[in-house]
Chains A and B, each alone.
Chain A
């Protein structure tokens, strides 16, 4: 994601300022009879609102990548809990608890396609999820599946070239294993590999990590 242009507080101040200017023009439209008033109207009704739209969109896109945003839907609660399972064989939990992914952007880091339009596709799916949440039938957490098999590309975005990835003995159990994984012909989450992911159906028997400061 591109860096945010404004801090949220500064953006709120800017929006309030623009509202005040627009209100002034609405109340005193007669000001536009003078050149100064016309300049004010141009700033209040074109320049500032256009900029506010752009920064607002940027801020909302940035927020949509946060873990808090994803877990704000009830159906995602168990997926959030799975990040705290006290078992390092749980792949998302091991990544989350060991800071291999940024905790405040945990979902987005692994579930956005690292490809052209990956973010756009993710956002479109997100809008569909909101529609299903309010107008459709929400599936049980254990019945939620990915749209398509998880692409190794998302793992390799970080792990490609890493020594732990290249030299792990488990990655050389079969000849060409790494090459197949790199080509996405062998899933990283295949049976007997990293096959314990969120497994939300098993959480009732799990123990959870309690973070200590």
Chain B
């Protein structure tokens, strides 16, 4: 797999994580039921998606190597 594709995936994952964390940061500045809901419905999914996408980038990178001949 080309290195550029992996880096693109890592970049997307980093953006998702950063966006989710920004939402989390905003919700931490406000003690209100809406901030709790925003954290659960926006921040958490974005961060989780970023982490999972990063893991996917690692796994897809690992599986692209051809098996070594014995």
Interface residues of A in 164-189 (CB under 8 A from B): none
> B-facing mask of A62-81, CB < 8 A → 1, else 0?
01101011001100000000
Of the candidates B13, B28, B40, B48, which one forms a contact with A12 in the assembled complex, judged by CB atoms under 8 Å apart? B28
Interface residues of A in 43-76 (CB under 8 A from B): 44-46, 49-50, 52-53, 56-57, 59-60, 63-64, 66, 68-69, 72-73
A45 touches B51 (CB 8 A): yes
Task: Tally A-B pairs: CB < 8 A.
Answer: 107
- If over half of A's interface residues share one DSSP class (helix, strand or loop), that class is named, otherwise mixed; here it is helix
A19 touches B22 (CB 8 A): yes
Of the candidates A11, A53, A59, A66, which one forms a contact with B47 in the assembled complex, judged by CB atoms under 8 Å apart? A53
A53 touches B33 (CB 8 A): no
A residues with CB within 8 A of B: 8, 11-12, 15-16, 18-19, 22-23, 25-26, 29-30, 32-33, 41, 44-46, 49-50, 52-53, 56-57, 59-60, 63-64, 66, 68-69, 72-73, 126-127, 129-130, 133
Interface size on B, residues (CB 8 A): 35
A49 touches B44 (CB 8 A): no
